[in-house]
Amino acid sequence: MNASELLANSLSADAAIRQDATAKLESAARENYPGYVLHLSAELVNEQSPSHVRTAAGVALKNALTARDYTRLSEYAQRWLALSPDVKSKIKQDNLNNLNSPAIKIAVNSGQVIASIAAIELPEAQWPELIPTMLASVSQVGNVNLRIATLQTIGFICEQVKPEILAAQSNDILTAVVQGARQDEPNKDVTLAAMHALYNSLEFVRENFEREGERNYLMQVVCEATQHSSTDVQVAAFECLVRIMGLYYDKMGFYMERALFGLTVIGMKNPNDAVALQAIEFWSTVCEEEIELAIEAVEAAETYGEPPERESKFFAKTALPEILPVILDLLLRQEEDADEDEWNISMAAGTCLSLLSRAVQDVIVQPVIPFIENNIKGADWHQREAAVMAFGSILDGPDPSALAPLVDQALPILIDMMQDPHIAVKDTTAWTLGCICELMSSQLNNEVHLRPLIQALVAGVEDTPRISANCSWSLMNLVDQMHGFLDDEPAKPTGPLSPYYEPIVATLLRATEKPTNEANYRTAAYEALASYVTHAPADCIKAVETIILTILARQEHLLSMQNELLGADDRSNWNELQTNFCSIIISVIRKLGGDIKPLTERIMTDALNLIRAAGKHSTTLEDAILLVGTMASGVSHPLFLVDPAPNSTFSLVTAIEQDIHPYVNAFLPFLVTGLQSHEETQLCTVSIGVIGDICRALGEGSLTYTEGLMNALYQSLQSPAINRTVKISVLSCFGDIAIATGGGFEPYVESTMGVLKQAGDVIPDPNDYDMLDYVQSLREGIIEAYVGIVTALRTSGKGVLLLPYIGSILELIHRTLIDEEKPEHVVKLAIGLIGDLGDTFKNGEIRDYLLADWIINALKARHKGYSTDTKRTIKWAKEVGTSFLMEPELVLTYCYADGQTSNFGAFINLLVHSFHLYLGSLSPIFYHEVPHPSFLPVSPFFSVLFSHHRNDYLCIAEL
């Protein structure tokens, strides 16, 4: 098979042919990367090759340069940078020349390749001539195809390269882009390409937006483009306005008043749906910004008693009289046979109305009521559906007590509308009832409303799939809200829904028996069942027992059908059902606690059979492993002295404790396989979490398996294929294993501490925001590991093993605490670790470390706005972590003779002040005079003799 045929096959509709061709191309890339990329580039720019082969070459070349996975992306970048300058130069120049291809789609393929190379080279300060070359090409007015391809390439570059890399060239890029977007540009395709490039460049032109003159010009160009004769350009212009509002809300006051109010209202009325959708999206973005600003204002007032850094301009509230009637009218533009997955005008209007309700709150209610009253009993189904949609959309935002009379009046009508002859009306009514159950349950009159509401929803569960899904969701909301308060009171005997529990559960179980999952109705029923398990009061436990027995029987039946699955659809349905079964079983385990013990053998046997049947890469394998982890989880284990790890699967040591032992040998090979599936991020993460669960359940009994598990974890850290976020889970897991094994962790201390130090030494690029977030999470994972190891060695009396690593531990804590963006829970964790170290070395072995100014300052800081729990941890660390410095009071005793104390008093005051500084004001200091010389112990670590004899002063300090 020649190269052209192989490239063509890589785009085949036949999956087998496509996968075979792709595998052979990847093999060629591994064997001879320089020759591979040169050949692909030559094929892409060859005007004599068929277009589909050239397209395939462009796709393959781009895929050899970029990847979604961060690790692979980094690997590809290094592979490209390692090429000889001649090879790189040849490929870059050929593709720059190919932007002039008469086949515009092929030119765009080269543009994508150029952008992928730019994303690698520009951050390395390479290819400085790229942007000037692009700008020169845009200026060639007579070459329309070249201008279009170049503008699209600029857009691709702006999309892929981080804004700070391009910021220095923002003026030149913006000039070229705006030149093509101006009103006097004769070619609409050039204008469209320019608008798309402008959209992608908006994030890095922040400095230009700060300058009023440039901002005015940009806004003028975009606003004029919304009135362009081409609807495609209009859509692109409104897309730019949406993004501008999201990025530069604070600068929009002048433009809202002068232009944007009117332009967007006209845009929403545009008969072209694509234009109208973007104009609606503009107001949705305004509302999202103002909702977020309202949240920030509340947090600033409650936490700091100060105004927020950014304040709302209340655009939505100001524009409400103009935009609300338009949005309500758009609710009437439903499509008869609309696909629920297809975004349309009425859906967009409903979403915008919901956001508007949250943004303006109570003031939206009265203007919407007439629309509801005028349409809810209309002869046309469009009217009825729009009225119900409007009602449901304003339930979130206004004060529930203000809506209560309206809900009380509307609920009987809505319940009756569950019998409406049109399915869209019934569907929206079921959704609205779900909103009422979620947001207004506290306002319901249970004596009047509850029975007819439940009857309507139970009947709806057995209706068409769309209605069934919404009714199941409504029932789930009802129990979440009405019984959610019972979660912290396990002994609560009953709840408002107790009389209806069994019929609701029976209906949901019937719905889950159906063979298909259209509109996700079966999944919705399983999710509702899980909530009814979670929130069941004591008088409904029988219903929970019915659920678990039914689900186990279904799981066992499905396992027996494993060999009868015929195709991909059968396998997909099998996997989806098994996922639902696992979710219900996990919920029941957590609910029943120790009462699940009689079913332990059955559950564990089924879980292991499921793991064997699931297949290596199936998500079902993740669910099965998670189920076993839930059975093994050690939250109540006596050795579990710290908070559960983030990946821990909370539940059940009180139920089975050491009963997990018989299953460990059978389960561990699958767990290790999951751990070694480095390219399966979720499976690998779940496997790591379950390792911690099992170790905590077994306690010191896990020592039998520790060596193998630790080796597998070390190998995972060394794998280039593993996602970097998984490595954080691995580091946290070291702490879990240490907690479980106690002193038995000693053989792994040196290697583990080395790994943790190496990870803690990572310093992020301050301009790389993704890396900053990653390093923050990485440090959190390392500190969690340190907490586990310190706790394990302290409780086993082997704390001395930590002494060589105190410096690196505290260095990481210091880096963490000086990060201005550190979250509160990380502060709590870091300062708690300081306390753990002080508690481990109570005799002052690490006193010099703990006397560092940054530690004293961290413990003294007010930590304004932190939760009571965090402040309690800080106080504990202050008391325990520096106990050798912190006597209840420090008494300085001095003597005087012949009544002469004035000079001596001055001396003492100076000395006392010195001690006060030395102690960092951690202890109160009191003065005590005695009429004769004395030698008194002052604290466990020093004593002071002050004497006065013939006006000579003597101070002896023993530290």
Residue 404 confidence (pLDDT) above 50: yes
**Could you tell me whether strands 936-939 and 942-949 are parallel, antiparallel, or unpaired per DSSP bridges?**
antiparallel
Average pLDDT over the chain reads: 85
- The residues with which 930 forms a beta bridge, in sequence order, are 895
Greatest mean pLDDT among 28-37, 139-148, 410-419, 690-699 lies in 410-419
Q: For 556-560, 729-733, 932-936, which range has the lowest pLDDT when averaged over its residues?
A: 932-936
Residue 899 region, left (φ>0) first, then alpha (ψ -120 to 50), else beta? left
- Residue 194 pLDDT grade (very low, low, confident, very high; cuts 50, 70, 90): very high
Residue 644 confidence (pLDDT) above 60: no
Rg over alpha carbons for the chain, rounded to the nearest Å, is 34
pLDDT, tens digit, for every residue of 757-790?
Answer: 999 998 888 877 788 899 999 999 999 999 999 9
Using CA atoms, how far residue 264 sits from 195, 238, 257, 345, in Å, is 18, 8, 12, 15
CB 320 within 8 A of CB 360: yes
- pLDDT given at position 490: 56
pLDDT, tens digit, for every residue of 312-341?
Answer: 999 999 999 999 999 999 999 998 877 777
Q: Is 80 strand, coil or helix?
A: helix
- Residue 168 pLDDT grade (very low, low, confident, very high; cuts 50, 70, 90): confident
- pLDDT given at position 489: 56
What is the rounded distance in angstroms from the CA atom of residue 127 to the CA atom of residue 133?
Answer: 10
8-state DSSP, 744: G
What is the rounded distance in angstroms from the CA atom of residue 263 to the CA atom of residue 220?
Answer: 12
- Residue 874 pLDDT grade (very low, low, confident, very high; cuts 50, 70, 90): confident
Q: For 18-27, 550-559, 639-648, which range has the lowest pLDDT when averaged over its residues?
A: 639-648
DSSP string, 557-614: HHHHTGGG--SHHHHHHHHHHHHHHHHHHHHHHHHHGGGGGGGHHHHHHHHHHHHHHH
Contacts of range 669-676, beta carbons closer than 8 Å, 24 or more positions apart: 670/608, 670/611, 670/612, 670/621, 670/625, 671/625, 672/708, 672/709, 672/712, 673/616, 674/621, 674/622, 674/625, 675/712, 675/713, 675/716, 676/712, 676/715, 676/716
pLDDT, tens digit, for every residue of 619-632?
Answer: 888 999 888 888 87
Question: Which one has a higher pLDDT value, 910 or 813?
Answer: 813
Residue 642 confidence (pLDDT) above 60: no
Rounded to an integer, the average pLDDT of 561-571 is 85
Residue 649 confidence (pLDDT) above 60: no
DSSP string, 630-670: HHH--TT-TT--SPPPTT-----HHHHGGGGHHHHHHHHHH
Greatest mean pLDDT among 227-231, 588-592, 930-934, 951-955 lies in 227-231
- Percent of the chain topping pLDDT 90: 56
Rounded to an integer, the average pLDDT of 383-388 is 97
Burial status of residue 713 (CB atoms within 10 A of its CB: 0-12, 13-18, 19 or more): buried
Residue type, 312: S
CB 414 within 8 A of CB 392: no
- pLDDT given at position 932: 37
- The residues with which 936 forms a beta bridge, in sequence order, are 944
Residue 738 confidence (pLDDT) above 90: yes
Give buried/exposed letters for 196-234 (b at 16+ CB in 10 A, else e): bbbbbbbbbbeebbeeeebbeebbebbbbbbebeeebbb
What is the rounded distance in angstroms from the CA atom of residue 652 to the CA atom of residue 678?
Answer: 28
- Residue 586 pLDDT grade (very low, low, confident, very high; cuts 50, 70, 90): very high
Residue 669 confidence (pLDDT) above 50: yes
Q: Between 824-840 and 868-880, two packed helices, what is the crossing angle to 10 degrees?
A: 20
Rounded to an integer, the average pLDDT of 603-616 is 88
What is the rounded distance in angstroms from the CA atom of residue 59 to the CA atom of residue 385?
Answer: 46
DSSP H/E element including 117: helix 104-121
- The residues with which 893 forms a beta bridge, in sequence order, are 928
CB 9 within 8 A of CB 18: yes
Residue 557 CB neighbour total at 10 angstroms: 9
Burial status of residue 369 (CB atoms within 10 A of its CB: 0-12, 13-18, 19 or more): middle
What is the rounded distance in angstroms from the CA atom of residue 934 to the CA atom of residue 948?
Answer: 11
- pLDDT given at position 20: 83
Q: Which of 68, 90, 71, 75 is nearest to 29 (CA)?
A: 75
- Phi and psi torsions of 229, nearest 5°: -70, -25
Residue 52 confidence (pLDDT) above 90: no
Using CA atoms, how far residue 205 sits from 130, 164, 168, 175, 442, in Å, is 19, 10, 10, 11, 48
CB 242 within 8 A of CB 281: yes
Residue 1 confidence (pLDDT) above 70: no
- Phi and psi torsions of 621, nearest 5°: -60, -40
What is the rounded distance in angstroms from the CA atom of residue 310 to the CA atom of residue 249?
Answer: 10
pLDDT, tens digit, for every residue of 854-871?
Answer: 998 888 877 777 888 888
Q: Which of 547, 667, 539 is nearest to 599 (CA)?
A: 547
- pLDDT given at position 764: 87
Nearest 10 degrees: CA dihedral of 833, 837, 842, 844? -120
Q: For 269-278, 380-389, 468-477, 479-488, which range has the lowest pLDDT when averaged over its residues?
A: 479-488
What is the rounded distance in angstroms from the CA atom of residue 495 to the CA atom of residue 535?
Answer: 9
- pLDDT given at position 491: 53
Which tokens go with 527? 């999710």
- pLDDT given at position 637: 31
CB 230 within 8 A of CB 223: no
pLDDT, tens digit, for every residue of 482-527?
Answer: 987 655 555 578 999 999 999 999 999 999 999 899 999 999 999 9
Task: Determine the Cα angle at 778 with ends 774 and 779, to 5°.
Answer: 125
CB 280 within 8 A of CB 348: yes
Task: Determine the Cα angle at 667 with ends 665 and 670, to 5°.
Answer: 125
- Distance spanning both ends of the chain, measured CA to CA: 84
Contacts of range 574-577, beta carbons closer than 8 Å, 24 or more positions apart: 574/620, 575/614, 575/618, 575/619, 575/620, 576/517, 576/523
What is the rounded distance in angstroms from the CA atom of residue 701 to the CA atom of residue 714?
Answer: 21
What is the rounded distance in angstroms from the CA atom of residue 634 to the CA atom of residue 656?
Answer: 10
The counts of H helices and E strands in the chain are 45, 5
- Residue 882 pLDDT grade (very low, low, confident, very high; cuts 50, 70, 90): low
Task: Determine the Cα angle at 830 with ends 828 and 831, to 5°.
Answer: 70
pTM over 0.85: no
Residue 186 confidence (pLDDT) above 80: yes
